[in-house]
Structure 1
Amino acid sequence: MASLPIFMTAVANSSDEPAFPLTFTWSTHEAQVKEVLVIPDDEWLENHNIESNIHDLDEQQLYEFGFEASDILAEWINEFDTDTIYGLEPDILNPLIEATYEIKGLEPSFGVQSIHSWFEERDVNLDDAIAQQGNNTPLHLLAPDELILQLLQIAVEHELINPNDIPAIEE
């Protein structure tokens, strides 16, 4: 298993009743940050709408710039060599990942645990670490790529991961 954890976040079709993903953003084992727009499956759209969201994503943008679930899953299979990834809100992220797998008749090959637990297991209080950085913006309000980069930066600052392994973060 690679040394760097996979941090992931997603934007859902609805903040009240999340049913399918609009975007996924994750860190790689090389500490790169990847983000993809998700083309909504027809089955998802039969039962749910794409509501107004903080990224102003609409159905047209998803079809124009997004990727099919099968393409996203193929990338994850090639990149993720772990059975656990870490997300800010696992209770929201898990169903979005499951929806992406289920639409292709598959089951997720990994589970999602709380990013707070990953830091706690390493004796770092994530909320305190964020406050020490002077960030007053709640994590769930950060842009997905900014969230992932901030988590990687905190991990570096607390010597939980080796900064030499992270070409994307400059100190």
Structure 2
Amino acid sequence: MASLPIFMTAVANSSDEPAFPLLFTWSTPETQVKEVLVIPDDKWLENHTIEPNLHDLNEQQLYEFGFEASDILAEWTNEFDTDVIYGLDPDAISLLVQATYDTKGLEPSFEVQSIHSWFEERDVNLDDAVAEQGNNTPLHLLPPDELVIQLLHIAVEHGLIDPSDIPDQVD
């Protein structure tokens, strides 16, 4: 079996004009699902606001429970031994990853590719696989941790990763 892919999703400050992340959720090679709130960089807030979102994340929560970009980047550096991660909306996630790296004047150490492509390359239609599970909720409307876990479960069901690699809960 192939090693566990890194699946990532994110919540942005705005659904119409995303400029910076509020939350990142990702799977790790150690079979964990991690979720972290992001403390907004002062420069982000100079030109953009945090709009109401499906996850009810607000600025107070981010400052109270979030992590600085430098802490998140350090964690990614330690965890990601790959130059590719996969996301449902790779363009949006790339923009949010780039904004996080920009706070430290760095370039991302990985690119974000389509999760649909990852499954298609392995002869699995993701939309069909979701429907087969009986899930009527569109993937983009799932809570971030549930989305990552569902992607991992679909990969297991289709023999793309080992079932013992799947986490039972979010850290």
TM-based fold match above 0.5: yes
> Residue in 1 aligned with 2:162?
162
Q: After TM superposition, list the pairs within 5 Å mapping 1:1-171 onto structure 2.
A: 3-168=3-168
The one-letter code matched in structure 2 to 1:80 is: F
Judging changes above 3 Å, is the alpha-carbon distance between structure 1 residues 43 and 31 closer, same or farther for their aligned structure 2 residues?
Answer: same
Tell me the CA shift for residue 91 of structure 1. 1.1
TM-score by length of 2: 0.96
Greater relative contact order: 1 or 2 (C-alpha under 8 angstroms, separation 6 or more)? 2
Tell me the CA shift for residue 167 of structure 1. 4.8
- Deviation digits for residues 52-92 of structure 1 (CA, Å, limit 9, x no counterpart): 00111110110000000000000000000000000000111
- Deviation digits for residues 138-161 of structure 1 (CA, Å, limit 9, x no counterpart): 000000000000000000000000
Q: Aligned residues, how many?
A: 168
RMSD, matched Cα: 1.1
SS state at 1:156 partner: helix
The 4+ residue runs of structure 1 with deviation greater than 3 A are none
TM-score by length of 1: 0.96
SS state at 1:4 partner: coil
Q: How far apart, CA to CA, are the structure 1 residues paired with 2:167 and 2:31?
A: 7
Tell me the CA shift for residue 23 of structure 1. 0.1
> Where in structure 2 are there 5+ consecutive unaligned residues?
none
Q: Is the 8 A contact 2:33 2:167 kept in 1?
A: no
SS state at 2:35 partner: strand
Report sequence identity in percent: 82
